[in-house]
Structures are given as C-alpha cells and as structure tokens.
Amino acid sequence: MGIVLAVLLMGGVVYAFLAGRNQDQGTATKTVRGVIGSEKAEFFADPDVVKALAAKGFTVKTETSGSWDMEQLPLTDEDFAFPASKAPADELRKKSKTQGAPLRPFYSPLVVVAHRSAAQVLAGNGLATLGGSAGGSGGSGTGSGGKASGTLRMGPYLDAVAADRTWQQLKGSAGHPELGGTLFITSTDPLASSSGALYLAAASYVADGGRVAADDAAVTRTAPLLKKLVSVQGAQQTSSDAPFRDFISGVGNPLVLVYESQVASLLLQQQDVGDLVVLYPDTTVSSDHTLVPLSEAGRELGELLGTDKRLRELAVRHGFRPQGAAAEFTAATAAHAAYLNQQLTGVRQAPVPTSKVLHTMAQRARS
C-alpha cells in the first residue's frame, strides 16, 4: 500500500510539473526593450495595452528620451527606437542591423494650446480665427461661452514675432493681466526634441514663401526669424510632456506647442481641460511616430502596433491617429469635435526638410 501511495504521489508531482510548464508556455511572452518619445509613455504604460501586447506574446519595457537625443544613446540592448517623427528615425536607422523600412503605426499633427483669453486676443488681432463652442471646464465640449478650437494664422503670427510684438501691443489684452511680455509659443528644444524641430520646419516653410528648405542658403534666409522663435523662450524642455502639463495646471506661457494626441487623450479620458482652446496652425506638420526596428523582435512589435485592431483602438484612446484608419479616430472623438479638427480642414501640411537640413536649421536657431 505504501508503494502504491508513493507511486501516486510521484505521478501527481510529475503531472503538476508538466501542467505548470505547459501553462507557462501558454502565457510566455518575449521581452522587447525600446527607447520612446515621452508622448508615448502613457500608451505603453496603459494596463490595457500591456494586456493586449501580452496576448500577442510581448512584454515591452521602455525608457523615454527626446527624439533627437536618441542618436546619442548606445542602443546596444534595445530592440527598437520610437521617435516622434521620420527625420530622427532616418538617422537612427543607420544603427539598425535589421532589414526593412521604419514603421509608422500612427501619427499626430502639431497644434498650439491656448488659454481662452489668449486665443480671443489673437483672434481679435487677426492672428487666429475661432470656431466651435465649449463650456468653461470638462472634456465634452458642450455648454455655453468661449471657443474651444480654431486656426492659428501662421503668416500673421510670424510677422508679429519678427516685429517683436508684445501682448500689451495687441488690442483687447488690457483686461488680461496674465498676458504680458513678448508674444511667443513655447516649444521644445529643437536639438533634442522632434516637436521643436518640426515647429521650425513649418515656420521656415511659411516664412520662405512656401518653399521647403533644401540647402544652407535656404536655412540662412529664415535663420534670424527662427532664432527669435527660440531665443525668446530661454531654457527649453527636451520633451513636450512637461510644458503641456504645466499648461494644464495653469502655469507657464499661455501658448504652448504640443501634439494633438496629448489633448485628445485628456478629452477621451474625460479629464478637466479648463479653459483650453486648441489652435491648429494653418500650416503645420504631422508628426509620424516612427518605430525603427533594431532587432527582429522590434520589427514584429512595430508591425503589430499598426495591424492589430485592439492596439489601434488603444492608440486612438491615447489620442493618436492610426495610419490609414481615419474613421477610427473620427468615431472615437466624435463627442469632442468642439475641440478637435477631426478632418484637419483648412490645415496645410508643410513638407519636412531632410534630417541633415533640419538639424542645421535647429543649430542655427539655437546659436
């Protein structure tokens, strides 16, 4: 009897071991490491995103960096790099040992967030146009009073910057003590961050009569203006996350350049956006969030982000526009159309210079 019990016990141990091993194999994931722009940190940290990736066999570990700063990282242990635009991705691709082009699963246009008083003063002076009503708080965009969205007229705005205009020189600003000093938009460091560099690209395109900078001569033509756009700001952040959070908390400059995704994400999470108004520059740049595979596993992840329906839904929930799936973004943000220009109506996309020219442009603006 003792022998029989011993055999049964051993059998149970073996069965438990095999069952546990099979269970581990069924839930096992491959760990993929990457460096990302801070604007995507909340997406990858979202428990639903973690769960959706795990269901496809991935555990993703990330660290954040400014898009251009990624070039300075060794990237020896990473499987992918995920800057916020194509230009830094082109440079990062040179470090990649994998074959195939970088992958662009989603994108986001650059916009300017403004407090209502600032937006109204800009509109009253011909620097912006406003449309769409919103309440004083909340994310639904319903209620009375104020304007929740509009268009920044880049030509007149750049003329005002070139003339060193101050808020006090704009009519209608007298009743707003929070509006003072030189008129400018807070942006990120163009030598470190993609959004800051793309801002210069759009400004250069408008200032040079709708021509994309292609050489040093073109950079030289707009360098004085671009330097004004940057120098008036003083110290700049290396990512768009901090300036946007400062804006939402009510501190800092009344005009801040951010990704549309940052605004859309707050709205979709039903967070209070206060008196925020979204100004879409009439000439802007859409930031193609571009994943550069540094390993085969990184390439698989990039493809999954663009093709998996659940992950696309989650990307939209974080404010991103999936490539080739405009209807998904429009449907998800329908309740917030007062804030968002869903079809990007009246918005012109400026071509982006090569990474070399863009880097030179940033250096000249910071010198």
Q: Which residues contact 146 (CB under 8 A, 6 or more apart)?
A: 116, 133, 134, 135, 136, 275, 277
Element counts in the chain: helices (H) and strands (E):
14, 12
pTM strictly above 0.75:
yes
Give the C-alpha separation, 25 to 22, whole Å. 5
Q: What is the pLDDT of residue 365?
A: 95
pLDDT recorded at residue 28 = 56
Fold for domain 28-106+288-336?
D-Maltodextrin-Binding Protein; domain 2 (3.40.190)
pLDDT of res. 23: 38
Instruction: Determine the pLDDT at residue 265.
Output: 95
What tokens were used for 238? 């290396």
- State the pLDDT at residue 144: 35
Domain spans, the chain: 28-106+288-336, 109-286+344-366
Distance, in Å, from the CA atom of 152 to the CA atom of 150, rounded to the nearest integer, reads: 7
**Token representation of residue 165:** 């205009």
Residue 227: exposure state from Cβ atoms within 10 A (0-12, 13-18, ≥19): middle
Instruction: Tell me the pLDDT of the chain (367 aa) as tens digits.
Output: 555 444 444 555 444 444 443 433 445 579 999 999 888 999 999 999 999 999 999 999 999 998 888 988 988 899 999 998 888 898 888 777 766 688 999 999 999 999 999 999 999 999 999 985 433 333 444 333 445 899 999 999 999 999 999 999 999 999 899 999 999 999 999 998 889 999 999 999 999 999 999 999 999 999 999 999 999 999 999 888 889 999 999 888 999 999 999 999 999 999 999 999 999 999 999 889 999 999 999 999 999 999 999 999 999 999 999 998 889 999 999 999 999 999 999 999 999 999 899 999 999 999 8
Q: 68, 354, 66, 92: which is closest to 219 by C-alpha?
A: 354
Query: What is the Cα gyration radius of the chain?
Result: 24
* Alpha carbon distances (Å) from 144 to 130, 133, 228, 323, 338: 15, 7, 38, 35, 12
Q: Does domain 109-286+344-366 have CATH number 3.40.190.10?
A: yes
Distances (CA, A) of 303 to 3, 56, 97, 118, 218: 56, 12, 17, 42, 37
Residue 337 burial by CB count (10 A; 0-12/13-18/19+): exposed, middle or buried?
middle
